[in-house]
Structure 1
Amino acid sequence: MSLVLSAALAGSALAQSFSSVEERMTEAEFKAAGLDKLSPEELAALNAFIAAETGKVASTLPAATPVADNRGFSRPSGPDGAIYSSISGEFRGWSQGSRFTLDNGQVWQVADSTARLRVKMEDPKVIIEPGALGAWFMKVEGYNARAAVKRLK
């Protein structure tokens, strides 16, 4: 697989900077490859390996030290891709001001006064996607509703 991945990345040798795996793959491809199960450290190591194999310098992805995940903060320094995680325990939806602690340790709060979702689920998978002008939106797998959110931690 690394040969195929390396060949695909080498084909884009005209690109100036390294694009991480999560930037290059769709959500479905990322999940199908099982990459959503990797820890942030494992994902950083994979990206560093691919960067080294393709001869790209990944300035934000050093080989020995994982990058701090600052997605969602006002001054991000890491990748701006979607965040795939879940919420442990009972989930009853959201309204303005609702706070959620994801299994990856991030804490997000609903900032949208019109967004409401009423459900009762256990351990839902969530996706937090970047939008225009620095906005972030949270969706629960299996539902079309989304809410504007801001990262607290």
Structure 2
Amino acid sequence: MRLVRLLPLLMSAALVLPAAAFAADQYVPLQQRMSAEEFKAAGLDKLSPDELKNLDAWLSGHGKTVTKMVDQSGKPVFYPSSEKAGPVQGRVQGHFSGFNGHGQFTLDNGQVWQQADATQIACLSSDNPKVTIRRSLMGNWIMAVDGCNDQTSVRRVK
């Protein structure tokens, strides 16, 4: 008897949810998505109304890119789509004696990684040790340094 009463509610939800998802996927024109300053800085104010309309039409026909990771200010985190999610290998530049909970590590390939948790781990001191940084199952980056029996979570800052 209760199921019979819930059936109209379930049917309504089944009809409303796809409509809400469709509305969320609708293209929003550039002038509404950007501030006036951003619009002008991008040079879009120089386009004629027809050129702007054509640009909006082109953008609406191409899939959106969703950035899954952003920093505190809302800007995308630096992980180019061309970058493999496979391990990063290199050497820490300079002296390494462990993880202090807030350390930054510059690698010989120019990348800079910062410890993402407050874990403090003492390791054997070494100069320019080999390092491997890999993705975890949850999408975070894990750093392991030769000569250190533990690893920690890191995030790329450069």
**Band the TM-score falls in, shorter-chain normalisation:** 0.3 to 0.5
TM-score by length of 1: 0.48
Considering fraction of residues, name the structure with more strand.
2
Considering fraction of residues, name the structure with more helix.
2
Larger radius of gyration, structure 1 or 2? 2
